[in-house]
Chains A and B, each alone.
Chain A
Amino acid sequence: MDSKRQETPAAVHAEGIVKRFGPTVALDGVRLTVRPGESHALVGRNGAGKSTLVSVITGLHRPDAGRVSFGGEPAPAFGDTTAWQSKVACVYQKSMVVPDLTVAENLFLNHYGLDRSGAGPGGRFISWRGLRRRAQDLLAEYGVDVDPNARAKDLPVEQRQFVEIARALSFGARLIILDEPTAQLDARGIQRLFDKLRELRDQGVAFLFISHHLQEVYELCTAVTVYRDARHVLTAPVAELSKEDLVSAMTGESAGTAVAWHAARGSAPDAGAEPVLEVEGLALDGEFDPLDLAVRPGEVLGLAGSAASGNTALGETLVGMRAPTAGRIAVRGRPVKPGSVPHALDAGIGYIPEDRHRQGLVLDRSVAENATLTVTDQLGPWGTVLPSRTREFAKGMIESLDIKTQGPEQPVSGLSGGNQQKVVVARALARGPSALVALRPTAGVDVKSKDSLLGVVRRVADEGSAAVIISDELDDLRVCDRVLALFHGRVVASFESGWTDRELVAAMEGVGERE
């Protein structure tokens, strides 16, 4: 619309921001400056304060100290949502469109062009025809090729993001925050998104890009700001910062330090040993093609792949959450009835689900209850569950996994993310599984919990069990002795420990296959 904003000093400027939650300091005097027409990356490990900063500069949280300004003007008053919307918008990982409404209605949700000032088409009643026309104009203005009559739920993920971006721009916002926008996109979707972002950047829109994928930061962004432990560490042009320096700024230690749980190079377990977990011709229509796996005692197998690769479905099939269309699974030579969790548990398959809120935890119930959910048959005679034994069992788990809790009776909802995840792991380990299947086990946990969780997986394997880690997070896969990369439901590559990030990422994105 207007390009004169380009001359103004900064799309957003935040300085000395302090935010506390109870005893926790989430932001400790941090700063951030994003210039118009710039894509600025904000990176840091979990808990570094990125999301809190986003809440502060989108007006969701009031900072305890510090100033925020947009284009040189001080930020709107706290709580004035409309004013904030005209300055900045955030496209979250979770879609904020109403899935059952059309694109046009989503674009004008709650104002419908029933203009307060009378400047717009105005009127008392919603004019659907006008709404559609204006939606078309708006989408065309930003070059978004989406049918305004389509239902939002029918759009591919990146188009839904375009709609959200277009909506934000229509409010007058010239700063768009993208929170992990590529998390649910495949390689082509990411490309389309990035093309669109570059286009809008040339029109003077500023982006704040939050991502764990450093590669994307280098691909898209011109400047980067690193936070660590609630503090500002550095801001620099991307071109002048090597990847190693960026990683060491994020972690505070020089990159490449081996951690205890990293698979030692060439430590491949005895190839002659009888496999613990054996899979033959396992297939699930529409998710993954028939594949064979054999995991030996002491081995951690990684199944790498992006969201669309089918590796999640494979993991859920291994543990009985889904019934395969063909194939068989055996643990220590004993066949497992497919599609039945109780049988898988009995056979010795432990399961760490992908999403702890969806499949992992009963949030209202206590730590003890959640941790013992898989072993209720072992806590007393004749189907009884004795509270004393439950507590005893839970205490052992709390100790061995170092779960920070007030005690076994505390509801899990009161625990931090990392400790909640440890409860999920406790539940999986409770039966002493011979094969542990973990789906994205470190999603949304902080660095320290991550280390200890991956350490647990390593320990389980070292004690003679087999472990399977299903993830697209490179750190998760570093613990593996062997990594299979999946792409569109097929194994496209296999790596022994000692792979480089580049080759694994390329395989996960299907690059190796196409070339």
Chain B
Amino acid sequence: MTETIRPPVAEETGSATPRGRLQLIRWSDFSLVPVILVLMVIGFIVSPVFLTSSNLISVVQQSSELSLLVLGQALILICGRMDLSLESTIGIAPVIAMWLVLPSEGGRFAGLDLLPVWMAIPACLLVGVAIGAINGFLMLKLRVNGFIATLGMLTMLRGLHIGITEGKSITDVPESFRYLGKTDWLGAPAAVWICLALFAIGGAALAWLRHGRSLYAIGGNPEAARAAGIRVDRVTWIVLAVGGLLAAFAGILYTGHYGSVAATQGNGWIFQVFAAAVIGGISLKGGRGTLFGALTGVLTLQLVVNVMTLGGVPALWNQFLNGAIIIVALVISRFASGEKQD
């Protein structure tokens, strides 16, 4: 009964046949590509403005910050963990960095003037890493529940953000932030190129680096990974820190792009982040999914929003439609990929 009779498939000789290569690509990762194409056709029908380069660039520009959070969250989810605090990190990291570098008088926002201005970006990234590391400490050393720990972290950091800024927006954004948020490289915003590069690096690491590959083993079965000699806690900790780093970087791009940090920066994003990741085929239980899938998840959500805006949907109905779309997209991606989401 345990022995299932299954005629072994005639094994092709020669190790790197095209078929062998093709099997590496899982078609379920592409399940959202047709959805994106359909959305573009709908967008074109709804409004001729849709297919103009300026509109499409603005879609990808708006996707860039969200996609960085999704990238971080995807890595963490593949590891079998989750980090809700990313949505607060995107706000608090730039705030702390600016607090440290801005002069203590003269501006609308009084900083501490502790660090030179060029330190703004490194300081911001460090804050992100530190938040991820603290989350890691809570989850891996103290072994508290990761969901609630990061939920607490989310709330606490949001409060810290409001406390430091006294609930006001900061508009004295350092030049280095502005540069990254506003510059165009080769006709598209720098942020977009950077995002694509980071996704490519992340995807390559997951595919070809031993430590990248180990994320799947850790998320799929941590005990088996440990028995195979993978340093499960260390790798998970690093991934959490990288997640914080990416969120902080997203904060830099977002702040630079809009030229200010609002007290609500990032508020409520985490739902979009999770939705995009799951729609993109990443399992909340860990061990499954690809970064390419996650990226298509982000694009799908952003395209829908854009098409709705162009279609003149009343702003008051946006929230309702947003939720509805997440559910519909979830159902579509579940059946397009043929895999149960869990």
Contact = CB atoms under 8 A, between A and B. Distances in A.
Real complex partners, A and B? Answer: yes
Contacts of A449: 3
Interface string B199-242: 00000000111110110110011011111111100000000000
B54 interface: no
A365 B229 CA distance: 17
A306 interface: no
B2 interface: yes
A379 B15 contact: no
Contact of A47 (B1, B213, B220, B231): B1
B287 interface: yes
Interface stretch (B6-14, B122-130, B266-274, B312-320): B6-14
Interface string A440-484: 000011101100000000000000000000000000000000000
Interface string B132-162: 0000000000000000000000000000000
B163 interface: no
Contact of A362 (B6, B15, B220, B229): B220
A385 B3 contact: no
B186 interface: no
A418 B2 contact: yes
A362 B221 contact: yes
Nearest to A373: B228
Nearest to B213: A385
A222 interface: no
Interface in B1-53: 1-6, 8-9, 11, 15-16, 20-21, 23-24
A24 interface: yes
Interface residues of A, number: 59
Contacts of A327: none
Contacts of A379: 210
B211 A24 contact: no
Interface stretch (A234-242, A351-359, A498-506): A351-359
Given A321-B227, A409-B23, A361 B1 contact: no
B257 interface: no
Contacts of B211: 383
Contacts of A230: 1
Contact of A445 (B2, B8, B216, B230): B2
A176 B87 CA distance: 56
B213 A376 contact: yes
A452 B139 CA distance: 42
A345 interface: yes
Contacts of A376: 210, 213-214
Contacts of A388: 15-16
B213 to A, nearest CB: 5
Contact of A406 (B6, B24, B220): B6
Contacts of A341: 226-230
Nearest to B210: A376
A216 interface: no
B288 interface: yes
A52 B1 CA distance: 8
B231 A342 contact: yes
Contacts of B209: 383-385
Nearest to B21: A387
A416 B8 CA distance: 13
B224 A369 contact: no
A47 B2 contact: yes
Contacts of B223: 358-359
Contacts of B8: 404-406
Given A342-B231, A358-B223, A373-B230, A387 B207 contact: yes
B287 A365 contact: yes
Nearest to A27: B1
Nearest to A351: B227
Interface string A390-432: 0110010000000011110100000011100000000100000
Given A385-B210, A407-B11, 9 more contacts: A22-B5, A26-B1, A48-B1, A359-B226, A362-B220, A365-B216, A407-B23, A448-B3, A449-B3
20 contacts: A21-B1, A21-B4, A22-B5, A24-B5, A321-B226, A342-B229, A345-B228, A359-B224, A359-B227, A362-B221, A363-B220, A363-B221, A364-B220, A369-B216, A373-B217, A377-B210, A391-B16, A405-B8, A407-B9, A409-B24
Interface of A: 21-24, 26, 46-49, 51-52, 230, 319, 321, 341-342, 344-345, 351, 353, 358-365, 369-370, 373-374, 376-377, 379-380, 383-388, 391-392, 395, 404-407, 409, 416-418, 427, 444-446, 448-449
Q: Which 10 pairs show the lowest CB-CB distances between chains A and B?
A: A362-B220, A376-B210, A373-B228, A345-B229, A417-B2, A409-B23, A359-B227, A359-B223, A362-B221, A342-B229
